Amino acid sequence: MTVASTFARRRRTPGGTREGRGETGTARQAAQIELSGVTKRFVTPSGSMFTALRDVDVTIGAGKFCAVVGPTGCGKSTTLTMVAGLDRPSAGTVRVGGQTVDGITAGTSFMFQADALMPWKTVLANVALGPVFRGAQKREAQARARDWVRRVGLAGFEDHHPHQLSGGMRKRVSLAAALINEPAILLMDEPFGALDVQTKAIMSNELLGLWEQTRPSVIFVTHDLEEAIALADQVVVMTAGPGTVKAVYDIDLPRPRGAVQEIRFDARFLELHHQIWESLREEVERAYSRTTQGGRS
């Protein structure tokens, strides 16, 4: 599996090459995510109204990987916070697994663009936070965390603190911390945006490998269209702010996809990329001209 092919690792457990697939039993049932007529307005500090999202209608099937692309400031991150239940829509409803979101959505994990690791906790303690917060015994939480640290290829780094790790390694810790609760929904807000191209490709492969094991529904926000197509079942293109859904493309590339570095030379990939980019480009250009005009006035 892909995990084994990455950074040189130090093995801890003798014979510790146990395959990670499905050994922790069945994952929570993946849930369908449904946004209907979702509008989000903010009141700016100066008192004026700002509409971040307008009438967003989109449905993400249970266990599907959905990538959201769109120009900067089109409300992609806002969408995620509303699915997670960290924020409420001003109008419309967000439903997860048929239930309207009201409070923190159970069974959700969130991966932020910036590291959301506790700098004062070790890798192991950071990964163990999910089970600890859900009331697991410390020992059990640590055993599970140890397993997940190994699954993301960081065995031997359990006792390191986040500042001792590279950016890519910190992302692995975040990924393990997000997946340890076996979420029904995984929300990712440009999780690999800060990584260099090579590390990003490696992390994308690993994400796919891990996702295929537990199959949560994923919303993956990104700026990178290639990344979106390589990973997702469905690509949602958003308009320049106020954001709304411009188009939804089904990505019919077969799974398992294999290395993201190679799939981008596939003929079907190029075709899809061309199609979606045509649609996305208009929005990016509109957003760009708006910000430059705003800068002048």
Partner 1 sequence: MTDPTAATGVIGPAPAVDAAAAVTAGARGAARRRRALVWAARLATLVVVIGGWQLLTNAKIVDRFFWGQPSGIVSQLNDWARHGTAYGSIWLQIWTTFKEAVLGFVVGVAAGVIVGVLLGQFRFFSEVLSPYIKIANAIPRIVLGSLFTVALGLGIAAKVSLAAVLVFFVVFFNAFQGVREVDRNLLNNARVLGASRRAITRHVVIPSALTWIIASLHVAFGLAIIGAIVGEFLGAQRGLGLVIATAQNNFNPDGVFAAMFIIAVLALTAEGLIGLLERRLLSWRPPSQAEAAAA
**Residues lying near partner 1 in the complex (CB under 8 A):** 10, 81, 84-86, 104-106, 108-110, 112, 114-116, 118-122, 129-130, 132-134, 161, 163-164, 177, 181
Q: What is the dihedral of CA 146, 148, 154, 158, to 10 degrees?
A: -30
From the CB of 240, what's the least distance to partner 1, in Å? 26
Nearer to partner 1, 126 or 222 (CB): 126
DSSP conformational letter for 15: T
Query: Among positive and negative, which fits the CA dihedral 37, 277, 231, 291?
Result: negative
- HSE-up of 100 (CA within 13 Å, CB side)? 8
Nearer to partner 1, 36 or 81 (CB): 81
From the CB of 231, what's the least distance to partner 1, in Å? 21
Nearer to partner 1, 11 or 21 (CB): 11
Nearer to partner 1, 91 or 114 (CB): 114
From the CB of 85, what's the least distance to partner 1, in Å? 8
Nearer to partner 1, 192 or 269 (CB): 192
Query: Is residue 65 within 8 Å of 257, Cβ to Cβ?
Result: no
From the CB of 41, what's the least distance to partner 1, in Å? 20
From the CB of 81, what's the least distance to partner 1, in Å? 8
From the CB of 262, what's the least distance to partner 1, in Å? 30
Query: Is residue 95 within 8 Å of 88, Cβ to Cβ?
Result: no
From the CB of 9, what's the least distance to partner 1, in Å? 11
Alpha helices in 116-194 (DSSP H): 123-133, 138-151, 167-179
Query: Among positive and negative, which fits the CA dihedral 243, 244, 249, 250?
Result: positive
Nearer to partner 1, 190 or 233 (CB): 190
Amino acid occupying residue 295: G
Cβ-based neighbours of 271, under 8 Å, separated by 6 or more: none
Cβ-based neighbours of 185, under 8 Å, separated by 6 or more: 30, 31, 33, 83, 96, 105, 107, 108, 109, 216, 217, 218, 219
CA dist 221 and 218 (Å) reads: 10
Q: Where is 261: in which H helix or E strand? A: helix 260-263
Nearer to partner 1, 121 or 146 (CB): 121
